[in-house]
Amino acid sequence: MKEIKLITFDLDDTLWDNVPTIKRAEIDTRRWIEDRVGKVEWGDFNDFLSLREELIKEDPVIEWDISKLRKEIFRKKLEHVSPKNLRDEIVEEAFNIFIDKRHEIKLFDGVENALSLLSSKYSLGVLTNGNADVYKFNIGKYFKFAISSLEAKNSKPNRAHFDEVIRRFKDISFNEILHIGDHQINDIFFAYNLGIDTLWFNNNNAEWIQDFAKPTEFSCWSSLPKIIEDLYE
């Protein structure tokens, strides 16, 4: 039976539902901004994607520095605000409001208990493209490390996160890692491409649409410790 020494986890939409969290953060931050400067034309999601691409062309770092991306979007939307020092002040305050709200999450049922059980047997880590700080939550105590796209200087599904894991833990190889996440590309293909075992968190009954074999999936966190026990112990 294969031996696993380290289990890594995605955060957003794996440990909690990120959609309502981000929606609330966006609404509350925009409301705060408009209370300061009046109506702002925010645009729709396609406008956001276009602006993101524009900003990345201007500064490629933004592709993996999510916090900088958020600030620059605010800055673009507030170009009409003057003087510049007032605009910069509003951008910084708005980002602080956003990031605080972004950390108001509700864990999926069973997450904390599963992490508690698994941390007694394995080293646990976080690999995320986002800017949530797992150590701001009670579950942070279960993780030995957390690597964001900012620290990896790249985004999943590129391999930089796992390369950083190996750099930090030279006694661990890829075949001793198990990665758990929800995203078929950014989590499952990300690990599969390096020969790393995966478990797919699929709580939405999503269809598997990739051209490689579907990994073991689970939809309930309370079942995870037993699944890992059956596969690796």
Say yes or no to pLDDT of 84 above 90: no
* Segment 162-172, tens digit of pLDDT: 999 999 998 99
Residue 1 lies in a domain: no
Sheet holding 197-201, edge to edge: 145-148, 123-128, 6-9, 177-181, 197-201, 217-218
**Same-domain check for residues 79 and 173:** no
**Same-domain check for residues 12 and 24:** no
Share of the chain above pLDDT 90, in %: 94
Q: 3-class DSSP state for residue 198? A: strand
Q: Give the residue from 218, 5, 4, 11 showing the smallest Cα distance to 126.
A: 11
Q: pTM for the whole thing?
A: 0.95
| pLDDT score recorded for residue 45 | 87
| pLDDT score recorded for residue 82 | 82
Give the number of domains in the chain: 2
- Strand-pairing partners, residue 178, are 7, 197
Phi first, then psi: what are they for 48, rounded to 5°?
-60, -45
Instruction: Determine the structural domain holding residue 66 and report its residue range.
Output: 19-102
In this structure, what token pair is assigned to residue 28?
């509350």
Give every CB contact of residue 64 below 8 A, 6+ residues apart in sequence. 129, 149, 150, 152, 153, 154, 155
Residue 89 lies in a domain: yes
**Same-domain check for residues 80 and 13:** no
